[in-house]
Amino acid sequence: MSDSDNAMMHIEDIKKLLPHRYPFLLVDRVNEIAGETITAQKNVTANEEFFNGHFPGAPIMPGVLQVEALAQAGGILLMSQQDNPQDYLMVFTGINNCKFRRQVVPGDVLILEVEFTGRRRQFVQMKGKATVDGEVTCELEASAALVNKE
């Protein structure tokens, strides 16, 4: 995908770039890719497996899954830049300055924004922000490595 290609991606396109599957695929759609930035979304429904235990009667999306959703958005961005994305994985190497600002509950649409802020060989640095209705739910800085599946 070129820098000028900002076409939306649906779930089948996402599955071509990420190895994640149910119940751990946490990106439902890519709204835009522009250069080193991606905007994607996770539609949070009452049917999410994690709501069975977090928390019965007061369902809240675990913060760590918001972090994972941001990581997956970053993975889509990185894989969309590879000639043979099926040969690689993106693995987190660090998370810094992670803050949770608002609860995410069933019915929310989690907007995921990730920007690559640096690159060095197979490593990328990124910052990410998740929002619901324009309110920040989670923000972080992270680093990841592109590794060959073999």
Domain boundaries, the chain: 11-148
Instruction: Between 99 and 2, name the one with better pLDDT.
Output: 99
**Token pair recorded at residue 113:** 């924004």
Concatenating the DSSP letter of every residue in 78-100 gives: HHHT-SSGGGEEEEEEEEEEEEE
- pLDDT band for position 7 (50/70/90)? confident
Model confidence over 44-100: pLDDT tens digits?
999 999 999 999 999 999 999 999 999 999 999 999 999 999 999 999 999 999 999
Residues identified as active-site: 54
Model confidence over 111-146: pLDDT tens digits?
999 999 999 999 999 999 999 999 999 999 999 999
Element of type H or E holding 139: strand 135-148
- What's the pLDDT score for residue 41? 98
Pick from 133, 127, 139: nearest CA to 110? 133
Pick from 26, 52, 24: nearest CA to 109? 26
State the CATH architecture for 11-148. Answer: Roll (3.10)
Encode 41-79: b = buried (16+ Cβ within 10 Å), e = exposed: bbebeeebeebeeeeeeebebbbebbbbbbbbbbbbbbb
Pick from 42, 33, 23: nearest CA to 105? 42
pTM for this prediction: 0.94
pLDDT exceeds 50 at position 1: no
